[in-house]
Amino acid sequence: MIIVGAGQVGESIAADLSDAHDVVIVEQDPDRVEEINYNLDVLAVEGDGTSVSTLEEADVADADMVIASTDDDETNIVVCSTAKAVSDAFTIARVKNTEYLRTWRRSRSAFGIDFMVCTYLLAAESIVRVVGLPAARDADTFADGRVEMAEFDVGEESPLAGQTVAEADTYDSLTFAAVVRGEEMLIPTGSTELRADDRLIVIGTPRSVRAFAGDVAPDETALSGEVVIIGGSEIGYHVARLLADRGVDARLLEQDPERARQLAEELPETIVMETDATDIEFLEREHIGDAEVVVAALDSDEKNLLASLLSERVGTDRSVAVIDQSEYVDLFEAVGVDVGVNPREVVAEEITRFTRAGGAENVALVESGRAEVLEIEVSPDSPLVGEPIRESIRSLPDDVVIGAITRGGEYIVPRGETVIEAGDHVVLFAAIEHAETVASML
């Protein structure tokens, strides 16, 4: 595996992959090369990833995969094209500009890139998922949208606090995958008691997950009010666009007149306002406090923190902030931001799902990578096939939960007696240390 660019994303992917693969990182900055060599169990090479000689030095001819993850779109594209020219490696490029993504999607082989991920778009999609499912800290869809995974906070006033899992689970098509209590991650049984401040990871049909969201926090049912997006960055733009697609009213605040005009032209259904979002007088006059969710998508973490706090102060229910520095996510959430979204983490997650061995179709990292929810198409020689789950689950590590099954597009509720067939799609939860083993077993 060759990773070009040792930024946050590159490092995060490398760290993820280094357990199971030989990873080579190509990086131009010598200090960074040294740092990586010390910090991670990978080989860091100094050089320009766009030059054939550097790539050959990294043994590109024998590489299975080349991941271009520098901060520059064009560089990433050239890296992939170059790698494709001299090897058969699977190439993954990370881009910011959605224009490239659009070009690539038209032929799926443009630029010699086998898979392209767009930072801003992914971050925006992730924000929209969180916004669309209030009370959820995290949400992801599987099996063409038929299965949804969500992570909820059990608040003090939540009616769920004090109930057992058996009492709380009133939905047929919902599986409680895990309960996170402090540093501990529990696999719940029917008698597990839920407490305030627990986090709950559930897998089920989108409808049941949405309905369950109402149980967790009855005050915050499905999004009905307005969303205010602060900052017309690329992420802010995509959030506005995606919300408009879903018929959600949104206002977008942008300070720069030219950018505001451009956004207003591209977003016919969004009300774009040219203003400084930290102007309290404006926030009150325009009743920003009445908004259901405020999404802070300005270009700096500090501004996003400030904007989120200000909006909560004028009365907004929920705030979602884009946070570039992954170290800040926990801090900001502690200070008062409801959900922090780190674009790099989102991208690393997306790339990781492609690098997983064992043919995992889709992967979501939960609890900052402590566990995974993955979708797998079951092969005929999988130990799961042919036996009721109650029996077959024994061959898997302990902390694996089968959350949902789809067969030919039909949702099947996994029960002890359910028999899995080859070709079924299984969405399962696994602690990170077993995830790869499980993926290769099935």
Partner 1 sequence: MSIRVDYRASLSLVGTVLKYLTVPLCLPVAVALSYGETVAPFLLTVALTLLVGAGLERLAPEPDIGAREGFLMVATTWIAVALVGTVPYLVEAHGIPLLLEPIHPGSTLGNPANALFESMSGFTTTGATVLGTINVTDHTRGVMIWRQLTQWLGGMGIVVLAVAILPELSVGGAQLMDAEAPGPGIEKLSPKIAETARVLWGAYLAITVVEILLLYGLDLAGMAGANMDAYNAVAHGLTTMPTGGFSPQARSIEAFSAAVQWVIIPFMVIAGTNFALIWHALSGSPEKLWRDTEFRGYLGAMAVLTAIITGLLFTGGFATGVPEGATFDAAYLQQYAGMISGNLEPAIRHALFQAVSIVTTTGYASMDFDVFGAPAQYVLLFGMFVGGSAGSTGGSIKVIRWIVVAKAVRRELFTTAHPEAIRPVRLGGRTIDERGVRGIFTFTLLYIAIFFLGALVLYLDVARAGIEFTVLEVISGTASTLGNVGPAFYRLGPMGSYLRFPDSSKLFMVVLMWAGRLEILPLLVCLTPEYWRR
Least distance in angstroms from the C-beta of 116 to partner 1: 28
The CA-to-CA distance between both ends of the chain, in Å, stands at 23
| Angle at CA of residue 213, ends 212 and 217, nearest 5° | 115
**Residue 226 engages partner 1 in binding (rule: CB under 8 A):** no
Select 251 or 425, whichever has its Cβ closest to partner 1. Answer: 251
Q: Which one of 129-137, 153-161, 269-277, 313-321 is the stretch in contact with partner 1 (CB under 8 A)?
A: 269-277
Select 291 or 393, whichever has its Cβ closest to partner 1. Answer: 291
**Residue 286 engages partner 1 in binding (rule: CB under 8 A):** yes
**Residue 263 engages partner 1 in binding (rule: CB under 8 A):** yes
Q: Which one of 274-282, 312-320, 363-371, 417-425 is the stretch in contact with partner 1 (CB under 8 A)?
A: 274-282
**Residue 31 engages partner 1 in binding (rule: CB under 8 A):** no
**Residue 314 engages partner 1 in binding (rule: CB under 8 A):** no
Give, in order, the Cα–Cα distances in Å from 174 to each of 186, 211, 293: 17, 10, 26
Q: Which residues pair with 44 in a beta bridge?
A: 25
Return the DSSP state at 62: G
What DSSP letter does each residue of 228-263 carry, written as one string? EEE--SHHHHHHHHHHHHTT--EEEEES-HHHHHHH
Q: Which one of 7-15, 82-90, 122-130, 266-274 is the stretch in contact with partner 1 (CB under 8 A)?
A: 266-274
Residues 103, 95: contact at Cβ < 8 Å?
no
**Residue 287 engages partner 1 in binding (rule: CB under 8 A):** no
Residues 85, 112: contact at Cβ < 8 Å?
yes
Residues 231, 299: contact at Cβ < 8 Å?
yes
Least distance in angstroms from the C-beta of 42 to partner 1: 48
Return the DSSP state at 112: G
What H or E segment, with its residue span, contains residue 27?
strand 24-27
**Residue 418 engages partner 1 in binding (rule: CB under 8 A):** no
**Residue 411 engages partner 1 in binding (rule: CB under 8 A):** no
**Residue 283 engages partner 1 in binding (rule: CB under 8 A):** no
Which listed residue (105, 246, 261, 313) binds partner 1 by CB under 8 A? 261
Which listed residue (57, 249, 274, 367) binds partner 1 by CB under 8 A? 274
Least distance in angstroms from the C-beta of 278 to partner 1: 13
Give CA–CA dist 256/264, Å, rounded: 12
Return the DSSP state at 193: B
**Residue 273 engages partner 1 in binding (rule: CB under 8 A):** yes
Least distance in angstroms from the C-beta of 113 to partner 1: 31
Q: Which one of 13-21, 56-64, 263-271, 417-425 is the stretch in contact with partner 1 (CB under 8 A)?
A: 263-271
With CA atoms as reference, report the closest residue to 353 among 226, 439, 228.
439
Question: If DSSP codes are grouped into helix, strand and coil, which group holds residue 442?
Answer: coil
**Residue 281 engages partner 1 in binding (rule: CB under 8 A):** no
**Residue 156 engages partner 1 in binding (rule: CB under 8 A):** no
**Residues in the chain, overall count:** 442
Residues 342, 369: contact at Cβ < 8 Å?
no
**Residue 105 engages partner 1 in binding (rule: CB under 8 A):** no
With CA atoms as reference, report the closest residue to 133 among 430, 406, 339.
339
Total binding residues for partner 1 by CB under 8 A?
Answer: 15
**Residue 275 engages partner 1 in binding (rule: CB under 8 A):** yes
Q: Which one of 95-103, 211-219, 262-270, 388-396 is the stretch in contact with partner 1 (CB under 8 A)?
A: 262-270
Least distance in angstroms from the C-beta of 245 to partner 1: 16
Select 37 or 255, whichever has its Cβ closest to partner 1. Answer: 255
Give CA–CA dist 131/115, Å, rounded: 27
Q: Which residues pair with 202 in a beta bridge?
A: 150, 176
Which listed residue (201, 203, 260, 420) binds partner 1 by CB under 8 A? 260
Select 286 or 349, whichever has its Cβ closest to partner 1. Answer: 286
Q: Classify burial at 351, counting beta carbons within 10 Å of its beta carbon; exposed 0-12, middle 13-18, buried 19 or more.
A: buried
Residues numbered 324 to 363 that lie near partner 1 (CB under 8 A) are: none
Which listed residue (145, 247, 268, 408) binds partner 1 by CB under 8 A? 268
3-state secondary structure 272-287: EEECCCCCHHHHHHCC
**Residue 178 engages partner 1 in binding (rule: CB under 8 A):** no
Cα torsion at 163, 215, 389, 187 (round to 10°)?
Answer: -50
Print burial letters for 196-215: b (CB count within 10 Å at least 16), e (below 16).
eebbbbbbbbbebbbbbbeb
Which listed residue (21, 97, 282, 369) binds partner 1 by CB under 8 A? 282
Which listed residue (272, 322, 347, 442) binds partner 1 by CB under 8 A? 272
Where along the sequence are the contacts to partner 1 (CB under 8 A)? 253, 257, 260-261, 263-265, 268, 271-275, 282, 286
